[in-house]
Amino acid sequence: MSKQHEIKDVQPIRSLEKIEDMKWSLKKWCGERDYILFLLGINSGLRVGDLLKIKVSEIQGKQVVSLREGKTGKRRTIHLGNIYDELNAYIGTLNGSEWLFPSRKGQNPITRVQAYRQLNKAAQMVDMPDGIGTHTLRKTFGYWHYKQFRDIAELQNILNHAHPQITLRYIGITDEQIESNLKSFRL
């Protein structure tokens, strides 16, 4: 398989400091659109393909939205209260665009390839040697949701995975981390 077509197993961003670095880098080097894409991705757990299909009319002025996921066809409720102000300030700059993440060329949203390029550009600026992929946003959401609530069944449901093991592997919770947690577990 050629280097260009290798499938990269991306990981979640496990450091809050690196998440803040990425936010800074996206704002400085890429722009508000790409920053908001990252922010919405890590706070919603939606796939990048679903994020790119969001229309302004579906989300503007709302703290809770219901969107249909492309891969599963299932409806998903997204709570935006924690990023509402930033999201709506950004929407105010879109000058009537139909799409939440409009391309600078034409009337369409940006592509997955363009989203990937922008995310990697920002990652390179903050010394993330492995870079990141479009799934990094969803995996980061899953990782931090699990770290905060420790409810794998709930997260499995949110991410629409068939089994808890799929979810644990997806968010990068390894046997080593589970073992480490169990060593310090005491009631």
Q: Which residue has the higher pLDDT, 3 or 11?
A: 11
CA distance 42 to 125: 19
Q: Is 47 an annotated catalytic residue?
A: yes
Q: Is 71 an annotated catalytic residue?
A: yes
Whole-number average pLDDT of the chain: 93
Mean pLDDT of 132-160: 96
Mean pLDDT of 57-82: 96
Mean pLDDT of 149-176: 92
Q: What pTM did the predictor assign?
A: 0.91
Number of Cβ atoms within 10 Å of the Cβ of 84: 14
Q: Is 161 an annotated catalytic residue?
A: yes
> What is the per-residue pLDDT for 9?
79
Of the residues 71, 163, 183, 186, only one is catalytic, namely 71
Of the residues 33, 139, 145, 161, only one is catalytic, namely 161
Of the residues 35, 90, 143, 170, only one is catalytic, namely 170
- pLDDT at residue 128 tops 70: yes
Beta partners for 64? Answer: 79
Q: Is 138 an annotated catalytic residue?
A: yes
> What is the per-residue pLDDT for 176?
66
- pLDDT at residue 2 tops 50: no
- pLDDT at residue 5 tops 60: no
Q: Is 135 an annotated catalytic residue?
A: yes
> What is the per-residue pLDDT for 39?
99
- pLDDT at residue 181 tops 90: no
Q: Is 143 an annotated catalytic residue?
A: no
> What is the per-residue pLDDT for 126?
95
Query: How many Å is the maximal CA-CA distance in the chain?
Result: 59
> What is the per-residue pLDDT for 165?
93
Domain locations in the chain as residue ranges = 12-184
CATH 1.10.443.10 fits 12-184, yes or no: yes
- Would you say 79 and 70 are in contact if contact means Cβ atoms under 8 Å apart? no
- Would you say 34 and 118 are in contact if contact means Cβ atoms under 8 Å apart? yes
> What is the per-residue pLDDT for 6?
52
Of the residues 138, 139, 143, 146, only one is catalytic, namely 138
Mean pLDDT of 9-13: 90
CA distance 43 to 52: 15
